[in-house]
Amino acid sequence: MKKISVRTSTPYEVLIERGSIKKSGELIAEITKSRKVAVITDDIVGSLYGETVIDSLRENGFECTVFTFPNGEQSKNLTVLGQIFDFLCESGITRSDIIIALGGGVVGDIAGFASASYLRGVDFVQIPTTLLAQVDSSVGGKTAIDISGGKNLVGAFRQPALVICDSDTLKTLTPENLSCGMAEVIKYGMIRDCNLFEKLESHTLEDVHEIMDDIVYTCIDIKRDVVEGDEFDRGERMILNFGHTLGHAIEGWHNYTDYTHGMGVAVGMCLITDKFAPELSERLKKCLVSYNLPTDTEAPMSELLPYCSKDKKRSYGNINYIVCQTVGVAEIRKSTVSEFERIMEE
């Protein structure tokens, strides 16, 4: 088993091993004296892996209740959050018990936010089952729900007590879901790791499972390093948002329906690179295409920019955006929102 120790305000370990969800009860028993857990999952992941995790928890002496909600971003809202609070209350969860988030980014975000806020904070364990959740959202403590004004606008920083990554769970992902995670993986290569990017260039969506363990470990280790340096997202952590300002805008333009987060990030990385490092664009696009990701959008820039001015990374009328002029090196640039709009519309 590979371990990555994350030294944030509350430290924790990320455990990476194929088949590790079968041992989740044993692994969680090592980090808590409590023998009471509440599992939060969605209907798709619950039907695939719920029994395995619950059997392991019960074999290790845990009393276990389960809350299941419909899969998808549309569930990451105040109504489902309220249902989770009621479920935790009915399950008799106390501050010394454990909440388990079993699923992809939506499950991790909403269960994480419930953990951050229920009883003013209950420890939680992330068991991420998508590539995006394993390499990004399960590590680093960002939790959130969506409101009508936008995605992830209400949330909290709360680090998990443990993350269990089982790359075998990635084998049941649809090609679209795998592509979505690959956009974040390509982002890590662009912002921090030229060797990772070169490795990705020599594979495609069809054979990427051959190097998946290596990819998951490398990306989590990059995220660990960035988050340890800037846990509360006031500086360097913003580099993780390469491609995201325009990516979120494209997702919003599509009403967060037929467009995945990964597709948005892929196009967002291309638009910003076309503008600020055109000599790198072809290389980036070739890599994205080999993972079935888009490189352009039908959305007019003039309709995307209003979404950018609502970006969480703006402050005092300024917007921060990330530029990579060399593979593996990212810089944070700041300009006024109107200057950013002028450059992008040129």
131 binds ligand GLY (CB under 6 A): no
**Which string of DSSP letters, residue by residue, matches 2-67?**
EEEEE-SSS-EEEEE-TTGGGGHHHHHHTT-S--EEEEEEEHHHIIIIIHHHHHHHHHTT-EEEEE
CA dihedral sign, ordered 205, 2, 198, 249: positive
- The two tokens of residue 104 are 């992809």
Choose one: 51-59, 94-102, 135-143, 191-199; the region binding ligand GLY (CB under 6 A). 135-143
Choose one: 143-151, 153-161, 165-173, 233-241; the region binding ligand GLY (CB under 6 A). 233-241
Choose one: 15-23, 27-35, 136-144, 292-300; the region binding ligand GLY (CB under 6 A). 136-144
Identity (one letter) of the amino acid at 140? G
313 binds ligand GLY (CB under 6 A): no
- The two tokens of residue 156 are 């909290």
Q: Which residue is nearest to ligand GLY (CB)?
A: 240
* Distance (Å, whole) CA 254 – CA 332: 27
* Distance (Å, whole) CA 45 – CA 39: 12
At its nearest, how many Å lie between ligand GLY and the CB of residue 30?
26
- Which SS3 state, helix, strand or coil, does residue 321 take? strand
Residue nearer to ligand GLY on the CB measure, 187 or 285: 187
Looking up tokens 């299941």 gives 68
By CB under 6 A, what part of segment 173-232 binds ligand GLY? none
At its nearest, how many Å lie between ligand GLY and the CB of residue 192?
13
Strand partners, 69: 42
330 binds ligand GLY (CB under 6 A): no
158 binds ligand GLY (CB under 6 A): no
Residue nearer to ligand GLY on the CB measure, 64 or 240: 240
237 binds ligand GLY (CB under 6 A): yes
At its nearest, how many Å lie between ligand GLY and the CB of residue 163?
13
Site residues for ligand GLY per CB under 6 A: 136, 140, 142, 233, 237, 240
